Structure 1
Amino acid sequence: MADDHLDAADDSGLLLAAEECPRDDFQKYHSFAKYERAIIQRIIAHGPVLLRGGRGSGKSALLIESFLQMKREHASTVLPVYISLRHLPLLRSEGAEYEAHFCRILSAEINKELSRNQLGTFPITKDVGALLQALEENARLLARRIVLLFDDAAHIGRERPLEDFFDIFRTISTSRISCKASIYPGVTKFGVRFDVFNDATVIDISRDERKDDFHEIFVEVTKKRFPQIAKKVAASRSLDEVSFGKIMGRAVTGNLRSFVFACNLMQENAAIGYPELTKCLLELSGNYFWPLLDEVAPKLGSYEVLVPPSQEVAHLIFTACARKGATYALVHRDIMQKQSKIFEILEYAGFFSKREASRAMKSGGRGVVYSVNLCNLLEMTSGRRLTSDLASQWIRATEEPYELRYTNSALAKIDIPAPGAERDLAILNKPISILKKSPAYPYGLTDDKLERLENAGLATIKAVAEADDNAILAINMVGKASLKRIRDVVHQAIWM
């Protein structure tokens, strides 16, 4: 069977998600700052860990690097197992049904890892008690600590199964079994048995522009994945690599996935200076961040109705910050208590990034501090042009934050409906035609592949997600490389 040639190296600029990067190429495309190396050591150490961060903040990269480092440096004492929980049955079940799917998926992944390392086999089970017994027995026989790294443990639009996950997480965490999991900000449904403060160490991983080494990761990623841009920055009369890393990292509130997208936009530029950065930031605002809310909407389940008011709240804050010349917003805690999901959606989509959980407000009360992305801020700024003076002002970030209080008249005019009952995600019933290459899906599917899938009866996201690999491979001109691309794009559509 013929297959189109899909080379990961050719797509280095499009590898937006760490979990989709081939393991052999992982170190080639990923860099980690000093403080991220410290987080990796905490992941490797004993004890349960929850890694909390927004979309594209680097959760998966940290888990995968921890996994690879344990295999390289601790193979005689540790058996690491990386498990992606991007499985549709987990998203659509709860209770005993969720437990059965989870145990089957986890035991199958453990069995694969044991087989790859020629360390025996692991029984495929659907029961937590049997799973724990088998884990303990293998840890004892192998004289190794087993480290389970759960990626994508939480989905922003489907929260009910989370209680089941954390119940299992707590049950199988022992002195021999170390559980680690990535979650998004705003997860609150931990269940009655799981105490987040006592049953795990929570590590927040957002990249903070206030740290001295903030720019380093963006400089390193540019050199590794976009060497031509790095050369143009080095030759620039108005920029150096430090200022480039600071302003572009700050522009996307420290989000590497958005930074990679930005670099893709700049690859064709003959030179890199402030005019090119201006064009890039405005392009990100109009054709990446605002459309991203539309892309996220069908993944939100009962919270989909909150996307239009989220857009209005974001517009209000960016307009006010631009008028004040501020790059931070201080949101009163009364607003956060009533409308926290609005800010979780905006943080998930990269509009804001939380910096402080509580700060006193000038006019009384306390609030949450958010860093706002500079792309949308520039769009609302008079003149819509990034200059060296404006860049310096934004990087220094010495101005007072814009304060959003519950008495704000513009906020009061925004109609914010109550979420409905939990339901299936709308994305599952969308036609696969939405997965065509586009700003939302930069490494989407070609017209040819979409047509072949549709002709095979796989016309919706749900149909492709539920189809087994053999059914997709049976389609003419679809081989293993195309299968991986199809799976990656479908996973992006449902989970990212």
Structure 2
Amino acid sequence: MNEFYLRTESIKADEIFDLFVAGKEDLNIIKALRSPEPCILEGSRGTGKSFLMRIAQQEIDASENTCVPVFLSFNVSSLINTDDAHQFYHWMLAKSLRALLNALKKKGFAVSTFSAGLLSRDEMDDGEAIERNLEKLVKEFEASYKSGASVNIDALPDIEEVKEAIQEICVDNGISRVYFFFDEAAHVFRPEQQRQFFSLFKDLRSPYITCNAAIYPGVTYFGDSFEPIHDCLYKVIERDIRDPGYIQYFKEMALKQADQAVRDAIINNADLFATLAFSGGGNPRMILKTIQDLPKFNSSNVDQMLKDFYRTKIWAEHTALGEKYKGHKSLIDWGRDFLERTVIPTLQSYNETRKQKRSEESSIYFWIHKDAPETVKEALRLLTYTGIIRKTDASIRATRSELGARYEVKYGCLLSLFANPHSESKDFYQTLSVKKYVEFGKSHSAYSSISELSSAIEDDEKFVTSVQAMMHRPISVLSMLSKWQIEKLQQAKIHSVEDLYRKTEADLIEHIYGVGPARARVIKNAVAAELLEYLSG
């Protein structure tokens, strides 16, 4: 089979529009990215966040000569390691200014002496000299991982000077707006970097500046100063396999990249293509990857591909995250075990029972109680990052009117377990019902091995260092706790986060009057939520 583009970075600028399929939701996202309001675009790995931002950038560039789009990636952010507490913020600012000056130069816009002076505190008034200085600063930050050496940022302007300079540049050149497109917004397993990114994102807001950023679901920490509901347009890339135009959308996407032999195979084997497209659960990279790796377009090869990819490869990628990010390893491994050994077998059993009863209903959905341990929720968030599951609803009522979140397991992960996946797919898909799901309560037995945070964290020096300061903070920093709960804890001589961390739910129930199982779980979840932010961070 021919080679497909699986990453936007591989696509040349003049080819990107030729590969674009204009789905309704895609057009809505692009409209938001081109609006004056800042926009956050959320999507799992391989869903096309970078691609849509590139489309928006090029549309602005082509149709609005009074606007300047600036596209930059922070994908090397994990290399930043200096003794500057705000190192990531300063690196991002320097990199953004360098990219802006480069974009202005390409469009032939001038930078006045006054604006140049605002962009540098070392009294430089030459735009090219400032750009070289910023380039040097960025390289020093990116080399800091080797030695942890400090970087001299004396010449870097503060944020108000930056906004004033950009306004001056816009007025002088008749520019109505500068659009920053931040790809790989912040390293997903370094929460402190994410908090600094969203501080910059908010700080840059002005009548002349719009910021857009791509983020991952589940593993993004906005910090205290940024509120997604109030501070931006929030868009999510979701391609539901139940949507009427789903197959046609992905068929057009594949045909745009396919050579003649693959085009003919897709057109002449519509059912086989539908099986592959549904299995990918709306993820373009997974769908194109499975088509690309087929030796021949027939049912036996499709069956084998589904088994290889959705039984093995997709899980191996998730597990590999644990090897790369040690602080999350136990959470990542537990999440995989929970899905493979508990959720999916339960769904299989449910579907088989419904089939035996000749009930035309099947499910790829499961529900988790809102008061499940925080470590369980974190493990599920990591599964949404890799795209193995998708949260479809944040708060729905299940049995006994209890509230919880509903998730969708990747269609291919269930389908691949059939002996003959392709021949089963049509009936399985047609009987899917989002109203049918298996439930896991707040104290399910599968949680026992991960419910205490201490069992979910590698006891290594890196983690100890990263949470040490947090452990000594007062319990009043735990935003999930009510004033009454904080007072009760203090009366029980529990004053710091560490004091609370070392107490079990049973300890809280025994020693604090008025605290039963439900409140004990809320209190323990509060401390777990705070500490989980510092994992590997």
- TM bucket by the smaller chain? 0.7 to 0.9
Q: Are residue 141 (structure 1) and residue 172 (structure 2) matched?
A: yes
Aligned partner of 1:213 among 245, 251, 257: 245
**2:191 pairs with 1:191:** no
Using the alignment, how far apart are the partners of 2:220 and 2:78 within structure 1?
22
Matched residue SS, 1:113: helix
- Counterpart of 2:398 in structure 1 is 361
Q: Secondary structure at the match of 2:331?
A: helix
1:79 maps to: 68
SS of 1:206's equivalent?
Answer: coil
1:323 corresponds to which of 335, 341, 349: 349
Task: Say whether residues 1:312 and 2:337 are aligned partners.
Answer: yes
Contact 1:206/1:353 (CA < 8 Å) preserved in 2?
Answer: no
> Closer, same or farther in 2 for the Cα pair 1:84/1:335, shift >3 Å?
same
Cα shift readout 1:283-337 (whole Å, capped 9, x = no counterpart): 1124421110233224435223322212211212112112212211222222274
Query: Is the Cα–Cα contact under 8 Å of residues 12 and 29 in structure 1 kept in the other structure?
Result: no
Closer, same or farther: CA 131–332 of 1 in aligned 2, 3 Å: same
2:372 & 2:451 partners in 1: Cα distance?
Answer: 14
The aligned length equals 404
For 2:302 and 2:400, the matched residues in 1 are separated by: 36
Indicate the structure (1 or 2) with the bigger Cα radius of gyration: 2
- 1:422 and 1:67 map into 2 onto residues whose CA distance is 43
- Which deviations, in whole Å up to 9, do the C-alpha atoms of 1:221-268 show, x marking residues without a partner? 2101234333113223xxx2xx555432331221111112111222x2
- Which of these residues, 247, 254, 266, is aligned with residue 233 of structure 1? 266
| Matched letter for residue 386 of structure 2 | A
- Do the aligned residues in 2 keep the contact of 1:301 with 1:424 (CA within 8 Å)? no
2:428 is equivalent to residue 393 of structure 1: yes
Long gaps (5+) in structure 2: 112-126, 135-155, 352-362, 464-537
From 457, 460, 464, the counterpart of 1:419: 457
Larger displacement relative to structure 2 (384-393 or 89-98):
89-98
Pair 1:45 & 2:35 matched:
yes
Partners of 2:27 and 2:437 in 1: CA distance: 31
2:147 aligned partner:
none
- 8 A contact 2:281–2:412 mirrored in 1: no
Residue aligning to 1:450: none
Q: 1:265 aligns with which of 290, 293, 297?
A: 293
Shift of 1:62: 1.0
Structure 1, residues 83-127: CA drift from partner, whole Å, max 9, x if none? 111124665467432222111111111122112222235544633
SS of aligned partner of 1:173: coil
Q: What residue in structure 2 maps to residue 154 of structure 1?
A: 186
Q: CA deviation at 1:79?
A: 0.7
1:132 aligns with 2:122: no
Alpha-carbon distance between aligned partners in 1 of 2:275 and 2:18, rounded to the nearest angstrom: 24
- Tell whether the 8 Å contact from 2:37 to 2:232 is kept in structure 1 after alignment: yes
Specify the alignment match of 2:480 in structure 1. Answer: none
Distance 1:92 1:379, change over 3 A: farther
Q: Return the alpha-carbon distance in structure 2 between the equivalents of residues 361 and 282 of structure 1.
A: 32
Contact 2:74 2:185 in 1 (8 A): yes
- Which one of the candidate residues 309, 312, 316 is aligned to 1:284? 309
- Mark the CA change 1:279 to 1:43 in structure 2 (over 3 Å): closer, same or farther: same
| Aligned residues of 2:369 and 2:405 also touching (Cα < 8 A) | yes
Aligned to 2:444: 408
Contact 1:81 1:149 in 2 (8 A): yes
1:297 aligns with 2:287: no
CA–CA separation in structure 2 for the residues paired with 1:331 and 1:226: 41
State how far apart, in whole Å, the 1-side matches of 2:86 and 2:62 are. Answer: 37
Q: Larger RCO: Structure 1 or Structure 2 (Cα < 8 Å, ≥ 6 residues apart)?
A: 1
Secondary structure at the aligned position of 2:89 is classed as: helix
* CA distance in structure 2 between the aligned counterparts of 1:391 and 1:398, rounded to whole angstroms: 14
Q: Which moved more, 1:343-352 or 1:406-415?
A: 406-415
Show CA shifts across 1:125-165 (max 9, x none). 63333322222222222222111111111322111111111
Name the stretch that deviates more: 25-34 or 88-97. Answer: 88-97
Residues 412 and 38 of structure 1, relative CA distance in 2, 3 Å threshold:
same
Query: Does the 8 A contact of 2:3 with 2:292 survive in 1?
Result: no
> What percentage of aligned pairs have identical amino acids?
20
Residue from 52, 68, 72 that aligns with 1:62: 52
Going from structure 1 to structure 2, the CA distance change for 1:100 and 1:223 (only over 3 Å counts) comes to same
CA distance in 2, matches of 1:71, 1:377: 43
Residues 1:232 and 1:335: Cα distance change in structure 2 (over 3 Å): same
Please state whether the residue corresponding to 1:181 is helix, strand or coil.
strand
Q: Secondary structure at the match of 2:46?
A: coil
For residues 288 and 28 of structure 1, do their structure 2 counterparts lie closer, same or farther at Cα, with a shift above 3 Å needed?
Answer: farther
Q: 1:421 to 1:193 in 2, by over 3 A?
A: farther
Farther-moved stretch of structure 1 (16-25 vs 199-208):
16-25
Unaligned runs of 5+ in 1: 1-9, 426-496
State the alpha-carbon separation in 2 of the partners of residues 329 and 229 from structure 1.
Answer: 36
1:373 maps to 2:399: no
Q: In structure 2, how many angstroms separate the alpha carbons of the residues matched to 1:421 and 1:278? A: 42
1:345 is matched with 382
TM-score computed with the length of structure 2 as normaliser: 0.69
CA positional deviation for 1:64 = 0.7
